[in-house]
Structure 1
Amino acid sequence: MLPAILFRQVHRPLGAGALHLGRSTALVHVFGVGGSSFVNCLNRYAAASGFIRISFLDINQRRNWDVARLRLHTDDKKHSLHKRTIQGRDLWQGVIDKQRAGFIERRNILVDDIREARHLVQERIRKKVGEITEERENIMTIPNMLTIGRAILSPYIGYVIVQGDFNMAMSLLAVAGISDLLDGQIARRWPSQATKAGSFLDPMADKFLIAILVVSLNHGALLPIWLTGIVLSRDIFLLAAGSAIRYISLPPPKTISRYLDVTHVTAQLEPTMISKVNTGVQLATIGISLGAPIWNYLDHPVLHCLWYMTAATTLAAALSYIVNRQKTYKIIQKKP
């Protein structure tokens, strides 16, 4: 809206120039053109123009009003923009906080699941370890004492044979044979005297005795070297197989002390029938060969037949352990 401007005409005649100037001045003030200097000039020469200005301050007031409205509009826009910025920032912060809270919650759930799984695994490991039987038994039984005594006596019998005291050696061999028969009979008649460790100790003691005797007889030229080699090879094979079975059947931790602990039973040996026959044939051959210098039948054909029979049964026993390896031993485990 244009500012209201009132004019009053002076009662005096005006010329054409003055009338033209008054019209121009009026148009200038009506359309808001010009400044304060121009207005002052008009006021100064108002008598010449024939018009008197009532209020020329409305132009400046309108301009001040427009600047104030523009500033107010700008402030409103700035305030609105700032408000929307804060709202957007709060919105994004809320989204970020929500995502962070969800991530933390999922992480906590995952950590709890991992801890629970680890706890379950530890419990299962402890349960499995508890299920493993470290079966310990009393090995101080009569059959085992007889077996250990026979093993201790074996080196002395070999020493006596090397010294040429065949009569003493025959007596000690008879004692060893009797102890071998007694420990088996006692273990079968009285189950409380039977031990799983004895299933390993008894054949090992027999092999130890036979190995020492064949070496001693070969040293005294009472057994051929080829038969001694066959018997020793079979015994070394059985000793290596027994050691491997012991290591395989031993539950963790596999230490040397636990490996050598005979009270910690992990497997039971079941000798084959041909092996039992071979043990009897070997002991008979050793006894008859040891009696040859006593009763003077050295290099008798019967001795040669016994040697070949011993070699054949020895090889057959070794082969039976290889063929029936799944039946010759049993790993002991805890029953559920």
Structure 2
Amino acid sequence: MAACPVIGYYILEGDLSTATALLFVAGVSDLVDGWLARRFNMGSVLGSILDPAADKLLMTTMVITLAMRDMLPLPLAIIILGRDVALSLAAFYFRYASLPPPKTFARYWDFSIPSASVHPTAISKYNTFLQLLLVGSTTIAPLLPFELGTAVTGMQWLVAGTTIASGLSYVGTGSRAAVKYVK
């Protein structure tokens, strides 16, 4: 989480070498952290909240700063950020709807009271991977001695499609598999 504003700063300053290096370190540390938590059964409620929050903060930072530098099309940035905002609002709703009475502000934010769990859909997992691949490729492309323009453009269209499909997978019949109410 701490690296996000620094990465964003370097992208806005045009120092893509430093931004790419920090993005790589952030990605590797996230993978190691996840592996350690699974390997040594060190998962926690706080970790289950902070890990996806850190991922979303990184993706939001990357999308906004790359769009500000005209390295990512604005319509694609709106699709990516719009899906995330919609899913965040849905998560707040599911938490409230599933919280056992009494529904107070303090109990809403007390995560020791489980009420619902959200499980990523398969398309959402692919979408997250493709989004990370896109922002990484977009950041590193200007540093390479060869052109990635067509590949990056194709990846932008693919990410737009998977982002829309991912968002739709959480509504309607797909939401039954993604959101489980805890009794």
Q: What's the TM-score once normalised by structure 1's chain length?
A: 0.50
Instruction: Within 5 Å, give how 1:185-200 maps onto structure 2.
Output: 185-191=35-41, 193-200=42-49
Pairwise CA distance, 1:320: 1.3
- Aligned partner of 1:154 in structure 2 is 4
**What letter matches 1:152 in structure 2?**
A
State the shift of 1:309 in Å. Answer: 1.0
Identity %: 41
| Other-structure match for 2:82 | 233
In 2, the alpha carbon distance for the partners of 1:206 and 1:274 equals: 17
**Which of 315, 318, 326 is matched with 2:164 structurally?**
315
Q: Distance in 2 between matches of 1:268 and 1:155?
A: 29
Deviations 1:188-208 (A, max 9, x none): 2222x1234544443333222
Q: Scaled by the length of structure 2, what TM-score is found?
A: 0.88
The question of 1:327 aligning with 2:177 is answered yes
- 1:228 counterpart letter in structure 2: A
CA displacement, residues 77-97 of structure 1 (integer Å, 9 cap, x when unaligned): xxxxxxxxxxxxxxxxxxxxx
Unaligned runs of 5+ in 1: 1-150
Runs (5+) with no aligned partner, structure 2: none
| Cα distance change, pair 280–331 in 1 and its aligned pair in 2 (3 A) | same
- Whole-Å Cα distance in 1 between the matches of residues 121 and 102 of structure 2? 31
CA distances 1:195-253 after superposition (whole Å, capped 9, x unpaired) = 34544443333222111111100111111111101101111111111111111222233
In the alignment, the residues of structure 1 paired with residue 142 and residue 167 of structure 2 have an alpha-carbon distance, to the nearest angstrom, of: 31
The number of residues matched between the two structures is 182
In structure 2, what residue type is equivalent to 1:329?
V
Residues 199 and 270 of structure 1 are in contact (CA less than 8 Å); yes or no, is this contact kept in structure 2?
Answer: no
The answer on whether the counterparts of 2:116 and 2:182 sit within 8 Å (CA) in structure 1 is yes
- Cα distance 1:200–1:271, how it changes in 2: closer, same or farther (>3 A)? farther
AA in 1 matched with 2:28: I
Compute the RMSD of aligned alpha carbons: 2.0
